[in-house]
Amino acid sequence: MEVYFVGMSKNALILPADYTDWLITLKHRIAGARQRALFAANQEQIKLYHYIGTEILDRQSRQGWGAKVIDQVSADLRESFPDMKGLSASNLKYMRFFAQECPECKIGQQTADQLPWFHIVTLITKLQDPTLREWYAREAIQHAWPRDTLVVQIKSQLHLRKGAAVTNFDKRLAPPQAGLAVEILKDPYHFDFLGLGDEAHERDIETALIRHITRFLLELGAGFAFVGRQFRLEVEGDEFFIDLLFYHTRIKCYVVVELKATAFKPDHAGQLNFYLAAVDAQIKAPDDKPTIGLLLCKTKKRMVAEYALSGMEKPMGVAEYQLLRALPKPLDTCLPTIEELESELSRELDPEPRPKIAVGGRP
């Protein structure tokens, strides 16, 4: 069977009826091949960088090479490979540090060549503990974090917060959902990106979170999809409004989030329990998992929260949020910063200086 494209002239090209489906399949095949090619190229790059770093480290150890020798190596390599970026003296020092910190080209049990180069640089320069490096490497691979996200998660000490909320999931959810639900919650949540002080009211925080929804979703974690704010429920003619409603795409359930600009109180759990029952009855699809709730409070007493949640029928967790916090001081190092390295690599590709643009668009 053959068909004409609608709207074309009588002499238009006639295509088979299955052409569109075939073209989609072909595009997917090409995209997959390109992705595999990029991954293979990255693997070769990381292995090359590790080899170069190992060679430099070995010669420094046996022959006492100094920094000036690395500068000369960089100059000679860049002369021989003028179109290849990544051969600056700064990057060679990172290669040496990489080989020193990861002699088997692994970050813990994670093969380093699964990560882009700047992810590796971030891990080995911002984290000294090999166990933490492996943890963040695994998370970055699993969730496909860009480097900026990796940096944010390290600064916010995600490893201390993930899975730390008080919950009753082990008693109210069946495995494996109980374990998965624990892992998607944190304590505390960091909302310093909102620019609000500790005196902010609930509605102010809610409004700011929606205004910064991308950062909010990043802080919530992978899998959260925003459904609505002040989501309306009607029960026997009375209206009720959920602060924030999400759907979690990985554990297949709705997540009700309630904000409290005060310390946690047991009656907060009762209110959330009501909302969860209403969502399960009115919104949840038959194939959805049970809805879970998250109470975000300014502060909480852990034992009070545990007692309150133990008496609730529905699965929920309690966590604190922080509007202001002190960031840990960056690790001092003799190596150049990643930003300086990226700038230098950019200059290798574009050696001509560009005029600086001031505010207003004038040079």
pLDDT of residue 341: 62
pLDDT, tens only, 201-252: 999 999 999 999 999 999 999 999 999 999 999 999 999 999 999 999 999 9
pLDDT of residue 248: 97
- Of the candidates 109, 94, 5, 19, the one whose C-alpha atom is nearest the C-alpha of residue 57 is 94
Alpha-carbon gap, residue 261 to 242, rounded angstroms: 15
pLDDT of residue 15: 78
Mean pLDDT of the chain: 87
For every residue of 65-77, DSSP letters joined together read --HHHHHHHHHHH
pLDDT band at 343 (very low <50, low <70, confident <90, very high): low
Whether the bond between 266 and the residue before it is cis, its omega within 30 degrees of 0, is no
Is pLDDT of 195 > 50?
yes
Residues in Cβ contact with 340 at an 8 Å cutoff, skipping those fewer than 6 apart: 90
Other Cβ atoms closer than 10 A to 115: 22
Please state, for a pLDDT cut of 90, what percent of the chain lies above it.
70
pLDDT of residue 170: 94
Give pTM, 2 decimals.
0.77
Q: Which residue has the higher pLDDT, 317 or 334?
A: 317
Is pLDDT of 340 > 90?
no
Q: Which residue has the higher pLDDT, 344 or 173?
A: 173
> Where does 283-351 have alpha helices with state H?
302-310, 338-349
pLDDT, tens only, 242-282: 999 999 999 999 999 999 999 999 999 999 999 999 999 99
Residues of the chain with CATH 3.40.1350.10: 159-322
| CB contact burial 224-252 (16+ within 10 A = b; e otherwise) | beeeebebebeeeeeeeebbbbbbbeebe
| CB contact burial 305-340 (16+ within 10 A = b; e otherwise) | beebbeebebbbbbbbbebeeeeeeeeeeebbebee
Residue 218 tokens, joined:
């990043």
Is pLDDT of 8 > 60?
no
Q: Phi-psi category of 7—alpha, beta or left, where left has phi over 0 and alpha has psi -120 to 50?
A: left
Other Cβ atoms closer than 10 A to 109: 8
pLDDT band at 345 (very low <50, low <70, confident <90, very high): low
Q: Phi-psi category of 129—alpha, beta or left, where left has phi over 0 and alpha has psi -120 to 50?
A: beta
pLDDT of residue 36: 85
- Of the candidates 284, 274, 280, 269, the one whose C-alpha atom is nearest the C-alpha of residue 316 is 269
Residue 21 tokens, joined:
């489906």
* Segment 149-166 mean pLDDT: 95
- At 126, the amino acid letter reads K
* Segment 99-111 mean pLDDT: 93
Q: What single-letter DSSP state applies at residue 189?
A: E
pLDDT band at 183 (very low <50, low <70, confident <90, very high): very high
CATH number belonging to the domain at 159-322, selected among 3.40.50.80, 1.10.3720.10, 3.40.1350.10, 3.40.50.2000: 3.40.1350.10
Is pLDDT of 362 > 50?
no
Residue 200 tokens, joined:
């902010």
pLDDT, tens only, 76-91: 999 999 999 899 999 9
Question: Which range, of 46-55, 172-181, 325-334, averages the lowest pLDDT?
Answer: 325-334
* Radius of gyration of the chain from its Cα atoms, rounded to whole angstroms: 27
